[in-house]
Amino acid sequence: MKTISFNRIVVAVRELCMRAACGLPPDVLDGLKSALRAEQSPQGKAALAHCIDNAAIAASERVPICQDTGVAVFFVTVGSECSLTGGALSDAINEGCRRGYRDGYLRSSIVNDPLFDRKNTGDNTPALIHYDLVEGDTLTITLLPKGGGSENMSALRMLKPADGKDGIVDFVVETVANAGGNPCPPVIVGVGIGGTADTASLLAKRALLRKIGSHHPEPRYRELEEEILRKVNTTGNGPQGLGGLVTALAVHVETFPCHIASLPVAVNLNCHAARRATIEL
Amino acid sequence: MCSLTIPVASSEILSLENGEQVLLTGKLYTARDAAHKRLIELIDTNNPPPVDLKGQFLYYTGPTPPKPGEVIGSAGPTTSSRMDGYTPKLIAASGLRGIIGKGNRGFAVIEALKKHGCVYFAATGGAGALLGKCVTKARVVCYEDLGPEAIYELEVVDFPAVVAIDVRGGNMYVDGPEEWRERRVGGRG
């Protein structure tokens, strides 16, 4: 049994928040560089060059890549051999988030009540935390700081099983096409297929954690990812939606079994400032 | 690439064409969702606005806080369409000459831009570190209680933007995708 203290988690999450906000993952930066080589529209090239320069400035000056430092979405796997002492895990993560956003000069983007009060909580909490219980003695915490612009373009559709692959492709391409410049293209398209309405949405979000260049392990779904990417990149939306060839950097599909009557499909888009960071304790 | 100094002369505003890349220098006022709500409440109740926006440029951004010794943190554009319900009234009441954000605008906004001679610019979303570097001065003008949603007065130098919707209603969010969609289909892309 491994013992992990409340304070150790707080310190780790604080660092994680600051690291995620300022450092673009290398696979995303490579994706942007490939996009710049492929892009032909002048406005699209200019925007992609801005994004690449922006990543360098953010990394060297430790300033956030984007002013929308996001809602802090955590994916946590807790090994069965981990013993957590000193307080609840969710409280430790929220405290780490609070300190990380404050000490890292990150933006507080959370309001206390969604409809009536809408008062900024001032410390970017509460975080949104998803847990998985697994074997082993490792506690893994991944942060996906998720911007509002891309999150607002999410979509869920409960398709009929008869709609099949074409129904899914049409729905995803339509969602990305209609999003225009709002989600800050070139985007990463997360697609969750199966489960129930809520699990499909979570699968789509989880799909954003995958590295650009990774593929679904099953060839049929890998081909689906490639087909959707090809079609998304013929919408003409391009970088920032101002016209161009590269609307998406990647399409990631995640799947789960589902009810005989259902074919749930969720789309979660991530902006090109696709930040994520992981820590293992 | 053309450089524009704010305030921009009316003749220059009229001559801007969608798709043109520009560098903006001068004063920008920030406002996003919550500040818009308050500004419109003032207009609706015939109260004076806390800042005179006549001839000025509005920038939809909610920056990160500055580190000690810095002017501002990251300061890129937010999605403009959330302000669409407020924008026609704000343009008509204030005499704004320019708005900077990201993403397409609704029909009523485009009609207001045309009627009142205001240009809508797009800045690169997700490039807040780079755009923040163009800001040489920043101060809160009002609504400090809104935190990142307060109205700031920024001084910017060579702030890069694209003319997204010009005063004739020419719209890069329509023309751009149309042009490139055809190129792909035609195999010229």
User: What pLDDT does B184 receive?
Assistant: 65
Q: Is pLDDT at B127 greater than 70 in this prediction?
A: yes
- Which residue in this structure is represented by tokens 């999150």? A151
Match domain A149-274 to its CATH number in 3.30.1490, 3.40.50, 3.30.1330, 3.30.70. Answer: 3.30.1330
CB-CB neighbors (< 8 A) of B148 in chain A:
67, 107-109, 120
Contacts of A214 (CB under 8 A, 6+ apart): A252
A15-38 pLDDT per residue, tens? 999 999 999 999 999 999 999 999
Choose the closest CB to A180 out of B61, B63, B104. Answer: B104
CB-CB neighbors (< 8 A) of B122 in chain A:
181, 240, 242
Domains and CATH numbers, chain B: 2-188 (3.20.130.10)
Strand partners, A143: A74, A277
How much of chain A, in percent, has pLDDT values that exceed 70?
100
Contacts of B161 (CB under 8 A, 6+ apart): B21, B22, B23, B24, B100, B121, B122, B123
Global pTM value: 0.96
Q: Taking CB atoms and an 8 Å limit, are B162 and A242 in contact across chains?
A: yes
Q: Taking CB atoms and an 8 Å limit, are B176 and A148 in contact across chains?
A: no
- Closest C-alpha to A240, from A43, A68, A69: A43
CATH class of the domain comprising A2-20+65-146: alpha beta
User: What pLDDT does B182 receive?
Assistant: 66
Q: What is the mean pLDDT of residues A157-176?
A: 98
Q: Is pLDDT at B113 greater than 70 in this prediction?
A: yes
Q: Taking CB atoms and an 8 Å limit, are B185 and A43 in contact across chains?
A: no
User: What pLDDT does B1 receive?
Assistant: 82
Domain range annotation of chain A: 2-20+65-146, 149-274
Contacts of B151 (CB under 8 A, 6+ apart): B29, B30, B31, B35, B50, B51, B140, B141, B142, B143
User: What pLDDT does B24 receive?
Assistant: 98
Q: Which residues of B are catalytic?
A: 36
User: What pLDDT does A73 receive?
Assistant: 98
Instruction: Determine contact: B147 vs chain A, CB below 8 A.
Output: yes
B42-93 pLDDT per residue, tens? 999 999 999 999 999 999 999 999 999 999 999 999 999 999 999 999 999 9
Strand, coil or helix: B99 = strand
Question: What are the tokens at B20?
Answer: 């043109």
Q: Is pLDDT at B29 greater than 80 in this prediction?
A: yes
- Closest C-alpha to A67, from B86, B66, B128, B46: B128
User: What is the pLDDT of chain B when averaged over all its residues?
Assistant: 95
Q: What is the mean pLDDT of residues B18-28?
A: 98
Q: Taking CB atoms and an 8 Å limit, are A67 and B21 in contact across chains?
A: no
Q: Is pLDDT at B186 greater than 60 in this prediction?
A: no
Instruction: Determine contact: B160 vs chain A, CB below 8 A.
Output: yes
User: What pLDDT does B167 receive?
Assistant: 98
A33-69 pLDDT per residue, tens? 999 999 999 999 999 999 999 999 999 999 999 999 9
- Closest C-alpha to B147, from A271, A123, A255, A44: A123
User: What pLDDT does B188 receive?
Assistant: 47
Distances in whole angstroms, Cα of residue A235 to Cα of each of A154, A185, A189, A242, A244: 18, 12, 14, 11, 9
Contacts of B72 (CB under 8 A, 6+ apart): B63, B64, B66, B132, B135, B138, B154
Q: Taking CB atoms and an 8 Å limit, are A245 and B78 in contact across chains?
A: no
CB-CB neighbors (< 8 A) of A100 in chain B:
none
Q: Is pLDDT at B163 greater than 90 in this prediction?
A: yes
User: What pLDDT does B189 receive?
Assistant: 42
CB-CB neighbors (< 8 A) of B182 in chain A:
236
Q: Taking CB atoms and an 8 Å limit, are A242 and B172 in contact across chains?
A: yes
Instruction: Determine contact: A178 vs chain B, CB below 8 A.
Output: no
A182-210 pLDDT per residue, tens? 999 999 999 999 999 999 999 999 999 99
In a mutational test of the B interface, the residue from A24, A108, A234, A242 whose CB has the highest number of chain B CBs within 10 Å is A242
Q: What is the mean pLDDT of residues A140-144?
A: 98
Cβ contact B158:B152 at 8 Å = no
A249-279 pLDDT per residue, tens? 999 999 999 999 999 999 999 999 999 999 9
Instruction: Determine contact: A92 vs chain B, CB below 8 A.
Output: no
Question: What are the tokens at A266?
Answer: 């969720």
User: What pLDDT does A180 receive?
Assistant: 97
Q: Taking CB atoms and an 8 Å limit, are B160 and A46 in contact across chains?
A: yes
User: What pLDDT does B187 receive?
Assistant: 53
Sign (positive/negative) of CA torsion A102, A183, A166, A168? positive
CB-CB neighbors (< 8 A) of B70 in chain A:
63
Q: Is pLDDT at B185 greater than 60 in this prediction?
A: no
CB-CB neighbors (< 8 A) of B36 in chain A:
none
- A-B CB pairs within 8 A amount to 189
Q: In this predicted structure, which of A76-80, B122-126, B145-149 has the lowest mean pLDDT?
A: B145-149
Instruction: Determine contact: B149 vs chain A, CB below 8 A.
Output: yes
Q: CA-to-CA distance for B72 and B64, rounded, in angstroms? A: 7
- Closest C-alpha to A50, from B183, B161, B1: B161
Instruction: Determine contact: A103 vs chain B, CB below 8 A.
Output: no
